[in-house]
Amino acid sequence: METFVLRNGVQVPAVGFGTWQTPDGATAVDTVKEAIKDGYRHIDTAAAYDNEESVGRGVRESGVDRGELFLTTKAWNGARGYESTLNAFEESCAKLGVDYVDLYLMHWPANAKQFGEDADRINLDTWRAMTELYHTGKVRAIGVCNFLPKHLGPLMDTEIPPMVDQIEFHPGVTWPQTVEFCNAHHIQVEAWSPLGSGRVLNDPRLEKIAAKYGKSVAQLCIRWCLQHDALPLPKSVTPARIAANLDVFDFDISQADMDAIDSMEPFGFSGNHPDEVDF
C-alpha cells in the first residue's frame, strides 16, 4: 500500500482501519482480522475506545508479523500529565499485548474552557511524557489529536514537536487553518470519521460526483482525504465495506470535483469542537 512519511522517516500505510465505536469482544477481534486479511496494515485504536484487548488479539491472530503492521493508540484525557501518561502507555501496551506502539497520540488537548490558563502547561507536561516514550523506543512516532494551531503552538518549541495531528476531517468539515499549520510544520494530518461517521454518505451532491467515477460515496470520501494528503481512518464492522474502503487507489478525483467538494458549506460536523468539549 502507498505510505505517508512522517518527519522522522517512519512510513505509515496510507489508509488505516478505524475502530472507534467498534464493540469490544468478538466484533473487534474478527473485524481487525478481516481488515488485515483484506490488506490493511494500519490499525487505529485508543484507550478510550475500550477495545484495545480485542484489537490486540485481532492483530496477534491475524498471522501477519507485528513488524509489518502499524498500530496506533491514544492516551485518554484522564491520563493528562507526565506520570499518568507514562502509566497509561504501559496499560495500553499490556491490553494490546505488544511491547511497542507505532504511533502514540494525546487524544484531546486540555482546553481553556476546562483548565483556564493552565491548559498549555498541562499539555506540555503530557507532551514531556510522550517525548520520553519516544526516546525509550517504545513508540516509533508521537503526535496529538484534535489540536488546533493555538494548542499546537506551545508544543512547537519543544525538543520533538508533534509528528501527527488526527482531526475530524471529511467533506463538510475541513479545519483549513489547522491543515495549513500542519502542512507548514510537516505534521501529518490524519482524518478521523472520514465518512462523517456515516453522516455525509447520503448527500446527493457527493452521490452525483461518486457516480461519475463508478465509486461509492464512502470511497469518494476516502480518496478525497488522500488527495488532501490527510490519512483516512475509515471504520466499519461490515466485511464488504471493510474491503471496499481500501479499493480507492484506482481512480483520481479531478481538481474541479475536489474544488466542488471543498467549497460545500459546513455540514456533517460531529459537534466536538476542541475548544468546547469538556471531557
Distance CA 16, CA 190 (A): 9
Between 51 and 126, CB nearer to ligand A2P: 51
Task: Let me know the angle formed at the C-alpha of 92 by 83 and 197, rounded to the nearest 5 degrees.
Answer: 115
Find, among 100, 44, 36, the residue nearest to 72 by Cα: 44
Tell me the closest approach of the beta carbon of residue 240 to ligand A2P, in angstroms: 8
Give 194's contacts (C-beta < 8 A, 6+ positions apart).
Answer: 18, 169, 170, 221, 222, 225, 232, 233, 234
Between 54 and 236, CB nearer to ligand A2P: 236
In angstroms, the Cα distances linking 61 to 34, 72, 92, 234, 265 are 11, 17, 18, 21, 44
Catalytic amino acids? 49
Distance CA 206, CA 219 (A): 11
Tell me the closest approach of the beta carbon of residue 27 to ligand A2P, in angstroms: 9
Is 107 annotated in some ligand binding site?
yes
Between 19 and 123, CB nearer to ligand A2P: 19
Tell me the closest approach of the beta carbon of residue 199 to ligand A2P, in angstroms: 8
Between 179 and 218, CB nearer to ligand A2P: 218
Nine cell digits for residue 154: 506551545
Binding site for ligand A2P (CB under 6 A): 18, 193-198, 201, 216, 218, 234-238, 241, 244-245
Tell me the closest approach of the beta carbon of residue 193 to ligand A2P, in angstroms: 4
* Residues annotated within a binding site for substrate: 107
* Residues annotated within a binding site: 107
